[in-house]
């Protein structure tokens, strides 16, 4: 279990480094980013290989296991956040973020509904971080959508708990979509958003945490959405021509850019959580609390929500490995 936590921490640190590298003087250093991406991969592998207690898969609906209400300072440092098993935190945040995306979620209260029976609910963790985690998980779930669906998701049938399904969506909403969207938490068809693999936050994702509901629901729209690519909100970022970290779907363009597409795809795989780092505008207030990301100023590259091709292309190799972060 400790490995998982450490892996989480390392993942978040790594993504922070990748983000910071964009604003460093002298341009993106290919070597360093490659090494960071390798660490990311290692951490993910450990994550996936470390068998976690299957509690994550428990049905969230109707059995709100209130995660320990612990004071979560919004700006908790990453390590702190890792004390607790991501999932409960995540869920809690989902709920928070969903109704009030702008508010730096104070997790505590809202935990109740649908809080997934956390396997080992210990910690506090940072609400936002949790949210991010959720978002990330959501994205991962998206990838896994179909599978989970079969896996007999505990989450309950369609449209069950509004909270959870919203959660990821909300988180995603955070991450990539225009602020405007945030007031519609319950939009079931956040499909555009749904597939945003924008990463709003370093993916501190617990693998299985999010309610299966999520995937399933995503399954409906998600997978479809995935295939459809990221519509509306995505479109805006997609239009952005410049990609620093992100690789053009076509793979290294002729133009000898200094590409770190490898890294970019990793990031896209990690899912929703990253857009906050990449986008110029931070959707809603929640972002400020995110650990580590000090400066969003330069995020000139509006999120490469490269949801379609690059993601799809990578979905196959990665999806098998991804077990729902």
Partner 1 sequence: MVLQSSKRHYRVWNHRRLGPWCSPTGSPAPLSCETGCGEGSWILVCRLLVPTQVSLLSMEEDIDTRKINNSFLRDHSYATEADIISTVEFNHTGELLATGDKGGRVVIFQREQESKNQIHRRGEYNVYSTFQSHEPEFDYLKSLEIEEKINKIRWLPQQNAAYFLLSTNDKTVKLWKVSERDKRPEGYNLKDEEGRLRDPSTITTLRVPVLRPMDLMVEATPRRVFANAHTYHINSISVNSDYETYMSADDLRINLWNFEITNQSFNIVDIKPANMEELTEVITAAEFHPHHCNTFVYSSSKGTIRLCDMRASALCDRHTKFFEEPEDPSNRSFFSEIISSISDVKFSHSGRYIMTRDYLTVKVWDLNMENRPIETYQVHDYLRSKLCSLYENDCIFDKFECVWNGSDSVIMTGSYNNFFRMFDRNTKRDVTLEASRENSKPRAILKPRKVCVGGKRRKDEISVDSLDFSKKILHTAWHPSENIIAVAATNNLYIFQDKVN
Stretch touching partner 1 by CB under 8 A, among 152-160, 172-180, 197-205, 253-261: 253-261
Q: Which residues contact 221 (CB under 8 A, 6 or more apart)?
A: 188, 189, 190, 191, 194
Of 262, 288, 309, 319, which one interacts with partner 1 (CB under 8 A)?
Answer: 262
Provide, rounded to whole angstroms, the least separation between the CB of residue 46 and partner 1. 7
Residue 158 contacts partner 1 per CB under 8 A: no
For the residues of 274-295, what is the DSSP string, one character each?
THHHH-SS--SGGGGG-SS---
> Strand, coil or helix: what is 145?
helix
- In DSSP terms, 10 is beta-bridged to none
Residue 2 contacts partner 1 per CB under 8 A: no
Among residues 266, 178, 282, the alpha carbon closest in space to that of 230 is found at 178
Of 1, 35, 158, 321, which one interacts with partner 1 (CB under 8 A)?
Answer: 35
Stretch 198-237: interaction string toward partner 1, x if CB under 8 A: ----------------------------------------
Taking the least distance from each CB to partner 1, the nearer of 6 and 288 is 6
Gap between the Cα atoms of 78 and 83, Å rounded: 9
Residue 17 contacts partner 1 per CB under 8 A: yes
Gap between the Cα atoms of 94 and 168, Å rounded: 6
Q: Could you list the residues that contact partner 1 (CB under 8 A)?
A: 6-7, 10, 13, 17, 25-27, 29-32, 34-35, 38-39, 42-43, 46, 242, 247, 251-252, 256-262, 265, 314
């Amino acid at each position: 279990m400790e490995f998982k936590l450490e892996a989480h921490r390392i993942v978040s640190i790594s993504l922070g480094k990748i983000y910071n590298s964009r604003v460093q003087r002298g341009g993106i250093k290919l070597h360093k980013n490659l090494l960071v991406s390798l660490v990311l991969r290692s951490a993910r592998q450990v994550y996936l290989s470390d068998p976690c207690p299957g509690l994550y898969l428990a049905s969230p609906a109707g059995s709100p296991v209130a995660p320990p209400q612990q004071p979560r300072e919004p700006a908790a440092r990453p390590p702190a956040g890792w004390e607790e098993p991501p999932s409960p935190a995540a869920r809690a945040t989902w709920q928070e973020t969903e109704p009030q995306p702008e508010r730096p979620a104070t997790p505590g209260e809202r935990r109740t509904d649908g809080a997934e029976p956390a396997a080992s609910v210990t910690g506090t963790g940072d609400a936002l971080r949790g949210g991010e985690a959720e978002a990330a998980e959501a994205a991962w779930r998206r990838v896994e959508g179909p599978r989970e669906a079969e896996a007999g998701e505990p989450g309950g049938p369609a449209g069950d708990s509004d909270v959870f399904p919203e959660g990821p969506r909300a988180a995603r909403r955070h991450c990539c979509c225009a602020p405007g969207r945030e007031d519609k938490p319950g939009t079931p068809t956040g499909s555009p958003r749904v597939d945003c693999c924008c990463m709003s936050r370093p993916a501190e994702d617990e693998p299985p945490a999010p309610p299966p509901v999520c995937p399933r629901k995503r399954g409906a729209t998600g997978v479809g959405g995935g295939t459809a690519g990221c519509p509306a909100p995505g479109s805006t970022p997609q239009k952005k021509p410049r990609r620093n970290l992100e690789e053009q779907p076509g793979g290294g363009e002729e133009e000898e850019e200094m590409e770190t597409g490898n890294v970019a795809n990793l990031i896209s795989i990690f899912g929703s959580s990253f857009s906050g780092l990449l986008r110029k505008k931070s959707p809603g207030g929640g972002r400020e609390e995110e650990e580590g990301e000090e400066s969003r100023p330069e995020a000139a590259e509006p999120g490469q929500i490269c949801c379609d091709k690059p993601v799809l292309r990578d979905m196959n190799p990665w999806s098998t490995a991804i077990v729902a972060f």
